[in-house]
Structure 1
Amino acid sequence: MNLRERWNLHVARAMEQDRLVALHRTRRRRRLLVVAGAASVLLLWADAAVSWAIAPSDTAVRVNLVLLVVMLAIYIPVVTALNSATRGLASLPESHLDERQVTERLRAHTYANSVMRLILAGLAVFVVVATWSEGEESHIPAAAVFLGVFALWWTHFLLPLLVAGWRLPDPPPDDDRDDDRDDEQDDDQSDDQAGVA
């Protein structure tokens, strides 16, 4: 077993454990997690915009670091909870998923791809409009380009998980209560039959 297979097996086992269940128990809570995840991505885009506006400067560096720390503080628990809720739908290889999960993963990737195309088109329009008036004299700081590409990559990476978390239905209600009621009724019926005999 090579390193990649061991890692995938470790991740698959970790996804079987219920973590942060209180955060993703209901569909409403999962959707709040998705909104928080989208906010963390928007912080990266804001970071690129700040770099475009005020870089190069010490203020830009400080603002960039603060935004990155806040983004990570939001991102880590959100992604952990969404991965737990989706049972690794977006992060595990296909060989570790069942047919339903593979189908849902394909739907999430398809929808995320459509959204990503809209983001790319919007970004292209924004860059053209923002640099149009300056023509050949336009200048975009290297930090803004780097952070913009990083935000684009991060969006592409996280979007399928956000889509899967948004689409995930509530699990069916536990049948434990129904089983307990059935057992009590069976006991009552057997007591009645024993009393008759």
Structure 2
Amino acid sequence: MNKADDLARLVPARYARRRPRRVLAGVGAGLLGLLWVDAAVSWVLAPSDTAMIVNFVVLGVLLAAGLPVAARLVAITGGTTSRREQELDERQRGLRLRAYSTAHGATTFVMILVLAVTMVADRGGRESQIPGAALFLILFAMLATHVLLPLVVAAWQLPDPPADDDEEA
């Protein structure tokens, strides 16, 4: 047995169809979006106790919900985005290439959007400052988006598995 078979056994049967996989991918994308909301809230509220409370609540939600969602996404995709290329078959390599290509385009768009928002919002001249916590959270959200978006995209784009030969007969 290979790693893909081991991961496939861990996936509940409800993810065998496209719709449940896309719902889970949407939840993963929403959790990534929560990181960006946290950075924006921190920019507006930091430094304050409210900003710290929001950050800790978001961190708790991300740990409680994000880790199980990420684990399911890895299992659903068979580890396509995390395994070495030599371990993948031709179909998985194609899925991986499409996922990385789409995620790269989306991440590029996010970086341009962050640059534009930062330029527009930072109009105070030399006295203008971005709170350090917000800057850290923006960079962390960018890193998480860069690393995890291919996984979300791969789960979203994953086709239904091929029908078994036994079912056709």
Map 1:1-197 to 2 at 5 A. 12=3, 15-132=6-123, 134-179=124-169
Post-superposition Cα deviations, 1:12-47, rounded to whole Å, max 9, x if no partner, equal 368444223245221000100111001111111111
Q: Distance in 2 between matches of 1:119 and 1:176?
A: 45
Kept in 1: contact 2:100–2:150 (CA 8 A): yes
Q: Distance in 1 between matches of 2:11 and 2:34?
A: 24
Structure 2, gaps ≥5 residues long:
none
Kept in 1: contact 2:103–2:153 (CA 8 A): yes
Cα distance change, pair 81–146 in 1 and its aligned pair in 2 (3 A)? same
Post-superposition Cα deviations, 1:169-194, rounded to whole Å, max 9, x if no partner, equal 11134444555xxxxxxxxxxxxxxx
Post-superposition Cα deviations, 1:147-190, rounded to whole Å, max 9, x if no partner, equal 110000000001111111111111134444555xxxxxxxxxxx
Q: How many pairs does the alignment contain?
A: 168
Moved over 6 A (4+): none
Q: Distance in 1 between matches of 2:102 and 2:139?
A: 21
Q: Distance in 1 between matches of 2:35 and 2:119?
A: 20
Is the partner of 2:81 in helix, strand or coil? coil
Structure 1, gaps ≥5 residues long:
1-10, 180-197
Is the partner of 1:18 in helix, strand or coil? helix
Task: Provide the identity percentage.
Answer: 46
Q: Distance in 2 between matches of 1:101 and 1:111?
A: 15
Deviation at 1:121, TM superposition (A): 0.6
Code of the aligned partner of 2:99: A
When normalised by structure 2's length, the TM-score is 0.91
Q: Distance in 2 between matches of 1:137 and 1:125?
A: 19
Code of the aligned partner of 1:37: G
